[in-house]
Amino acid sequence: MASAALLKSSFLPKRSEWHTIRKSSTPQPTVIAFSVRAGAYSDELVKTAKSIASPGRGILAMDESNATCGKRLASIGLENTEANRQAYRTLLVSAPGLGQYISGAILFEETLYQSTTDGKKMVDVLIKQNIMPGIKVDKGLVPLTGSNDESWCQGLDGLASRCAAYYQQGARFAKWRTVVSIPNGPSALAVKEAAWGLARYAAIAQDNGLVPIVEPEILLDGDHGIERTFDVAQKVWAEVFFYLAENNVMFEGILLKPSMVTPGAECPEKATPKQVAEYTLKLLHRRIPPAVPGIMFLSGGQSEVEATFNLNAMNQGPNPWHVSFSYARALQNTCLKTWGGRPENVKAAQDALLFRAKSNSLAQLGKYTGEGESAEATKGMFVKGYTY
C-alpha cells in the first residue's frame, strides 16, 4: 500500500500527459502502465509555429517594456504616458496590409490587454490582419552572482499561470530573452544559466499552449572578430539544445531568435553580408536540428538596411528551416522618426513601416535589392550595454 501511494503521489503524469492504469486480477503488486504523449497542445503548437514561419513573412517585435518605450518616445520629444504608448502601438498594429509581410507580433503585457485609440482590442486588430499575437514573458535581466559581471534572466516563478492567462487573452506564442556577453567571458556559469532558463521556459510555455521563441542573444558589444563570435555561438547553442532536450521540449513547436554571427560592434574589421551569411549558416547547420520550423533573427543594433541585406544573403539558397526576421528597432526606427508624435504623420509613418516590412519580406525570399532606401535606414543603432 505504501509503494502504491508513493507511485500515485510522485509519478503520475503532468496534466499535459495521459495515462492508463491496469491492475492485475491476482493479488500481485499494482502494475501501472503509462502511455505518454508530448502534450495537450502538440498539434496546435506545430500549426502555430508553421504559420509564423510562412514564406515571405516574419515577426514584428514590439514588446519593449514601458520604460524602454519611454526612451523611444523621448527620442521624438514625447512624454512616456499610457496614451502616447497606446497611440504609437495603434499606429503599428493598424498599418493597412501589414499581415502580408508580418506573421507574428510580440507584445508587452500592457499591449496584450490594451485597446487601440478607437476602442478595438489590439489582439483583435492583429488577428484581423492575419498576424499571430505573441507575448514577452520574461521579467528582465539581473546580475548573476558568481559570474564575471554577467546576467541571468528572471521570470520562471509563476510562469505557468501567466502563460495560461496570456493564452486565454489570445496570445499563441511567447518570447524569453537572455543575453551572453563576449567581453565578459562568457563564463561557463553564464552560458549554462542562460541555456537552462530558456529550456525551462520553453517547456512551461509549450505546456500552456504557447510556442516558445528561444532567444539567447549574443550581444554585439566588444571589439572581437567574427571568428570569436562564431566560437561562442557554437558553445551557446550546443548548451541550449542539450537542455531543451533534457526538458522534453518539442522542437517542431519552437522558434529560434538568434543573433547573426557578426564581428563585435567595435571591431575595426567589418563583415560583408556574404561573410555574415556564410558564418551564420555554418553555425545553424552545425547546431540547429531541421525539425525546428523557423529561425527568426534579431537585429541587435544593426542598421535597418544592414539587417535586411544580411538576411537576404542567407536566403540565396535553400535552407532546412524558414530563415526570417524578428526585428524591433530594425523595423520601427524610420517609422518612429517619421511619426514624430503628430497625428497628421500617421499615414507616412505606416508607409515607412510597410516599406521596411516589405523589404524584409523580400529578403526572406532572397529578392531584396536595397532599392529606395532612405539615409535614415542606413544609420547604425548599436547602443553599448543596451537594455530594454
pLDDT at 18 over 70: no
- C-alpha–C-alpha distance, residues 54 and 346, integer Å: 28
Q: And the C-alpha cell for 128?
A: 484581423
Question: Which of the two residues, 172 and 14, has the higher pLDDT score?
Answer: 172
Q: What is the pLDDT of residue 386?
A: 52
- Residue 82 banded pLDDT, cuts 50, 70, 90: very high
Q: What is the pLDDT of residue 372?
A: 80
- Give me the architecture of the 45-365 domain, per CATH: Alpha-Beta Barrel (3.20)
Residues annotated as part of the active site: 215, 257
Q: What is the pLDDT of residues 291-335, one digit of tens each?
A: 999 999 999 888 899 999 999 999 999 999 999 999 999 999 999
Q: For residue 27, give every residue at least 6 positions away whose Cβ sits within 8 Å of its Cβ, in sequence order, or none.
A: none
Instruction: Out of 29-38, 45-54, 368-377, give the one with best mean pLDDT.
Output: 45-54
Q: What is the pLDDT of residues 337-354, one digit of tens each?
A: 999 999 999 999 999 999
Q: What is the pLDDT of residue 373?
A: 76
- Residue 381 banded pLDDT, cuts 50, 70, 90: low
Tell me the backbone φ, ψ of residue 175, rounded to 5 degrees: -135, 140
Q: What is the pLDDT of residue 185?
A: 85
pLDDT at 252 over 70: yes
Amino acid 69 reads C
- Residue 13 banded pLDDT, cuts 50, 70, 90: very low
Q: What is the pLDDT of residue 300?
A: 81
- C-alpha–C-alpha distance, residues 75 and 137, integer Å: 26
Q: What is the pLDDT of residues 188-238, one digit of tens each?
A: 999 999 999 999 999 999 999 999 999 999 998 899 999 999 999 999 999
Arithmetic mean of pLDDT over the chain: 89
Q: What is the pLDDT of residue 90?
A: 98
- Residue 371 banded pLDDT, cuts 50, 70, 90: confident
- Residue 16 banded pLDDT, cuts 50, 70, 90: very low
pLDDT at 14 over 50: no
Question: Which of the two residues, 120 and 5, has the higher pLDDT score?
Answer: 120
Please spell the DSSP secondary structure of 267-293, one letter per residue.
-SS---HHHHHHHHHHHHHHH--TT--
- C-alpha–C-alpha distance, residues 304 and 306, integer Å: 6
pLDDT at 45 over 80: yes
